[in-house]
Amino acid sequence: MQSRFYTLTDYPQGLPERELFKLETEDLPELGPGEVRIRNHWLSVDPYMRGRMNGVRTYVEPFTLGKPMEGGAIGEVIASNDERLKEGDIVNHMGGWRDIAQIPAEGVHPLPDIQVPEQAYLGVLGMPGMTAWTGLNLIAECRTGDNVLVSAASGAVGSLVVQLAKAKGCHVVGIAGATHKLAWLESLGVEPVSYRDRNAHELSDAIRLACPEGIDVYFENVGGICLEAALSQLNEGARIAVCGMIGSYNAKEPTPGPSNLFELVARKVRMQGFIVADHWSHYPDFLKEVAPQVAEGKLDYKETVKEGLESTPDAFLELFEGGNTGKMLVKLNQ
C-alpha cells in the first residue's frame, strides 16, 4: 500500500513559498509491532505549524526535511497491531499532511462517543477548542462579568473564546478583518471591531468605543497593533493570555513589539504565554463542558474546507491571509 505525504524541502524565510511543500509517494512497509495504519478523512492546518518550519526547536521539534510533515488528522483504522485499536475505529492522531498514515499507536485516540461530525475533533472539540478553553479559564482566569477582548476573533480558537466568554456572562469584543467575519461575530452577540486600515491608536479608540469600561481579559492571537491597542485599554489587574502572535510568524526581519509595555506595570497586568499541550490533563473537563453545547447546537462553529490532499499547502498558507472563518480543514475523499 502506498502513502502520499507532504514534506518540506527547505526551511522558509518569511512566508513559505508554495514550492517548498513537495508531495511524495512511498510504499508503506509491513505494519510493525504496536503500529496502526489509518486512512485519513480530515487534515488540520494550524498557524503553530509555521513555528515547526524554522529549523530550530522551540516548544516542539521542527519538521524534518524530507520526512512526512505532521499535524492533527482524523481517519479510520484500516490495520492495527495494537489491541486498543481495531479496523473501522475513527481516530484522532498527529499523522496529518498525508492520505495514509502508518504510525505508532500510542498517539492515536478513538473519538469520544458524542454525536458531532468527526472533523469537530480537529476544531471546536479538538486542539483549537481546548486552546480557547484553557487560555480563557486556566490562564486568564476569566470570571463572570469580565470585559473580554479577543484578537483573530473569528478564527478557529478566537471564535470559541468569544462564545465561551459570552456563555460566562462576559461583555465580549472581537477583533477581525473581513466584513463577513465581523457580521458573524455580531450574530454571536460580540461587539465586532475591525483592524483594517487602522493604526494602533485608531484601533485602541475603536476598542474603547466598543467597551468604554475597559478590558479585564485579553486573549491574544495576533500581536502587533492588536497588542498595542489592547494594552492601552486594559483595566487594573487585567490578564492577558498569549496564545499566539500570528502577525509575526512570517516576518523576515524582527518586528518591534508594542511601545507601551509599561502599561503592564501601571495597570498591574499579568501577561502569560501558554501551550495547550501542557494542560491536556484538563481535556476531559473541557469536553464535559463544551461537547454538549456543540452537540445541542448551542455553540456555533464554522469550518473552511479545502478538498483533496493537494490543497493542503494552500490551506495552510491561507491561514496567514485571513482565508479562514473558523477552522481551516482539508477533506480527503477516499
Residue whose C-alpha is closest to residue 215's, from 198, 193, 197: 193
Strand partners, 71: 95
Determine which residue in the list 2, 9, 14, 59 makes contact with a second copy, applying CB under 8 A.
59
Radius of gyration of the chain (CA): 20
DSSP 145-204: T-EEEESSTTBTTHHHHHHHHHHTT-EEEEEE-SHHHHHHHHHTT-EEEE-TT--HHHHH
Stretch that binds a second copy, among 4-12, 176-184, 269-277, 317-325 (CB under 8 A): 269-277
Q: Which is closer to a second copy, CB of 252 or CB of 288? A: 252
- Cell 456555533 identifies what position? 300
Q: Which is closer to a second copy, CB of 139 or CB of 290? A: 139
Determine which residue in the list 211, 245, 290, 329 makes contact with a second copy, applying CB under 8 A.
245
- Cell 475505529 identifies what position? 89
Determine which residue in the list 68, 258, 313, 326 makes contact with a second copy, applying CB under 8 A.
258
Residues of span 96-125 touching a second copy by CB under 8 A: none
Q: Does 22 bind a second copy (CB under 8 A)?
A: no
Determine which residue in the list 168, 267, 282, 302 makes contact with a second copy, applying CB under 8 A.
267
Please state the closest distance from residue 251 (CB atom) to a second copy, in A: 8
Residue whose C-alpha is closest to residue 176's, from 165, 162, 305, 45: 162
Q: Which is closer to a second copy, CB of 7 or CB of 151? A: 151
Given the DSSP bridges, would you call strands 215-220 and 234-242 parallel, antiparallel or unpaired?
A: parallel
Residues in contact with a second copy by the rule CB under 8 A: 51, 58-59, 223, 227, 236, 242-245, 248, 254-275, 278
